[in-house]
Amino acid sequence: MRITNNLATAPFARTRPIVVFSTVLGVLLLGLLGFLIYLNVANRWEARETRARIAELEAEAVSVAREQAAQDAILRDPRYSEVLEQTVFINSLLRRKGISWTRMFDDLGTVLPHNVRVLRIRPQVTASNEVYLDMDVAAEAGDSVVQMLRRMEGSPVFGPTAIHSSLAPTEGEPLYRYRISVNYSQRL
């Protein structure tokens, strides 16, 4: 009778590939940890610089607000109120004068069909320096005006249109008349 006696507490196993893989994985994870620590430090440094820049800008904003308050106090002085009113009036006139009629008629020429007439045009300037046109137009057929409105709404220069009133042809006036308004993108 033969007895095999294994003196090892555990049988032989091939663990070298597992040890090599675990070592490589550990080194990679250690490198990733180092990279994450670097990113964290870089973000903290960048946040510190950003906070310093924000503090500078806030100090500058306080300084500008202080200067603005001083200027407003000067303008509220009764001695300067008449000059201020004249300045506001002149600026509003200059704003109205800043509308280029040549450019406006060139832009209208691109959207007007040949059989639509512009009878009256009055540009208006809003408080936000946007221009809208109040126009009276006439045509022999109503579909020509509808075509003009579609072209205006499809144009990058003109915005939404609105028809305020329309008049059918009469014996004295053989044309359809429309009063329309349209936003116009000419900035002042």
> What are the structure tokens assigned to 128, written together?
């936000």
Residue of 179, 175, 183 whose CA lies nearest to 116: 175
Residue 141's φ and ψ, nearest 5 degrees, are: -130, 145
Q: Delimit the domains of the chain by residue range.
A: 100-184
The whole-number pLDDT of residue 8 equals 64
Name the stretches of the chain with pLDDT < 70: 1, 3, 5-12, 95-96, 186-188
The whole-number pLDDT of residue 188 equals 46
Whole-angstrom Cα distance, residue 103 to residue 144?
23
Whole-angstrom Cα distance, residue 99 to residue 121?
13
The whole-number pLDDT of residue 187 equals 52
Strand, coil or helix: what is 50? helix
Half-sphere exposure at residue 174, Cβ-oriented, CA atoms within 13 angstroms: 1
Element (H, E) at 165: strand 158-167
CATH architecture of 100-184: 2-Layer Sandwich (3.30)
The whole-number pLDDT of residue 92 equals 74
Residue of 156, 155, 158, 99 whose CA lies nearest to 125: 99
